[in-house]
A and B are shown apart, each in its own frame.
Chain A
Amino acid sequence: MHDTPLIGPYNPDDVLAWEQDGPRTARQFLSDVTRLAELLPNRPTVLNLATSRYEFLVGFAAAILRRQLTLLPQSRAPQTLCRIAGDYPDSYGLTDREETIEGIESVSIQPRGGLAPWPDEIPRVPLNQVVAIAFTSGSTGQPMPNKKTWGALTAVAHATGSRLGIKGGERAVVVATVPHQHMFGLEASVMLPIMHGLVMHAGRPLFPADIRSALVDVTGQRILVTTPLHLHACVTEGVRVPPVALILSATAPLSRALAQEAERHFQAEVHEIFGFAEAGSVAERRTIDGDSWRPLDGVRVVQDQTSWMVHAEYLPAPVPVPDRITVDARGMFVVHGRGADQINIAGHRVSLGDLNQKLLGIDGVHDGVFFLPEEGTDLVTRLMAFVVAPGKTSEEIQRALRTHIDPVFLPRPLVCVPSLPRNATGKLPRESVSELARQWLAGQRHGA
């Protein structure tokens, strides 16, 4: 099998997506994709910034049929988009609003139009065709590209579906709070439904009341694809929700206590996915059952000389696991923490080295360092930064940083200091920065 159909088991009039203004059938979808594919410029790469999950999918599918690669930037920060567009100079943008990216030609996804006849055969896509590039943060400040083949995306969708007992034909509806441009969002809220003939909700609910509305909007079995942050918000606010068949959470570790509460609140099993952009979804667990992760079918985690590697037939080469893990005899593993330089804030992973590079690149900054305090009781633990920049205010540096990094990484607070406690070799041990942070926080409390 060298190629597979673009979508899974749908009849022409099956609903494939719920948009704000109503359903989109499989027939409508294929018509929209074919029409858009004819309109796309003849370019190799595309930045798909669509806000509607359905329109993102139409753009993604049209690009695939034109053998174009969809670029998945880590954030929509203007600087990130510009840098990626600089690295892929023949790119164009796809948008569903009046949004423009400076210096990048944009095409509007306008999937409105008549119905084309249902084709004799659903378009097929070669398994080895690279369809997307997910960017991750390297330690050098340069985004690292990770190529995703159609074979990898479809294999993960099928392995996830079979692990969760999702059957085509049951026509469950996937409601997702995660962005579709994020690797987990692409896998669980776009590829998972379309490979199983499910229905996708096109929205991206944020507040608990929005999540409730989205769940109420749709009928049939509901699958909620979300994050610990949204689960926490829903449970805390106690929104009343219609019955949910299954909850799938990822992007940050879910505590067993929150998983228990969420299972009670939604009357649904809460399963978690462990994965990272370089490898995609790797393993699954039902959080209340224990800490061990069970690799998806076809995935193995194997130790080489220096680190644990993810092996799968669809990965061109084994991929190192960025976290510290131990693997048992059955191949199941427990995650103990992040790799030394890695941090994860609300599902956005970055290397501290990368952030420090960007901080040091700002005009007027002589020295500087980011620091992640011990996780407290807050919903999200934010970074701090200590900066040596004579003559600059912390507001000025924040403003400059904002154009370079994803907003979730902006330091709270950014503290200007006369110097950093570097040691004799010029190194800045974590303990020294930690002490600096402790002193600063103590001073704040004292002053308050």
Chain B
Amino acid sequence: MSQLSLLEQDIAKLIVETLKLKVEPATIQPEAVLFGDGLGLDSIDALELSLAISQTYGYQLKSSDPEITVIFSSLRALANAIEKNRTK
């Protein structure tokens, strides 16, 4: 039933586990916003998530990256960025 790719499913699980969200990873909409109104994540979540992403995929996020708001805008965008930049 999920339209999530395998990587998106893994990242959804990482997000839910890292941030202890009370949602089923598979129900996260790939295009829905993660921060602000979507899952309601804040900057501490962003920091925690960045650590988990760096440890899991070897990709160090940077908020001065001109595309950071795009990268964090949705699960799909995050998965695309990880796909492009992962080192493990």
Contact = CB atoms under 8 A, between A and B. Distances in A.
Given A206-B46, A207-B50, 5 more contacts: A206-B63, A233-B50, A378-B20, A407-B40, A412-B21
A378 B20 CA distance: 10
B20 A233 contact: no
B84 to A, nearest CB: 16
Interface string A180-221: 000000000000000000000001011111100100000000
**Size range of the chain A interface in the assembly:** 20 to 34
List the 9 closest pairs (A to B, CB-CB), nearest first.
A413-B22, A407-B42, A209-B62, A209-B60, A207-B50, A412-B20, A206-B63, A346-B44, A207-B61
Interface string A373-384: 000001110100
Contacts of B73: none
Contact of A229 (B40, B47, B61): B47
A380 B44 contact: yes
Contacts of A382: 20
Interface in B36-55: 40, 42-44, 46-48, 50-51, 54-55
A414 B40 CA distance: 13
Interface residues of B, number: 20
Contacts of B64: 203, 205, 210, 213
Given A398-B40, A410-B40, A380 B48 contact: yes
Given A382-B20, A394-B22, A412-B20, A210 B62 contact: yes
A206 B46 CA distance: 9
Interface of B: 19-22, 40, 42-44, 46-48, 50-51, 54-55, 60-64
Interface string A389-423: 00000100010001000011010111000000000
Given A206-B63, A207-B62, A208-B60, A233 B42 contact: no
A206 B47 contact: yes
Nearest to A177: B47
Contacts of B51: 233, 236-237, 379
B86 to A, nearest CB: 15
Contacts of B47: 206-207, 229-230, 233, 379
Contacts of B48: 379-380
Among A205, A233, A398, A407, max chain B CB count under 10 A is at A407
A210 B22 contact: no
Nearest to A398: B40
Nearest to B20: A412
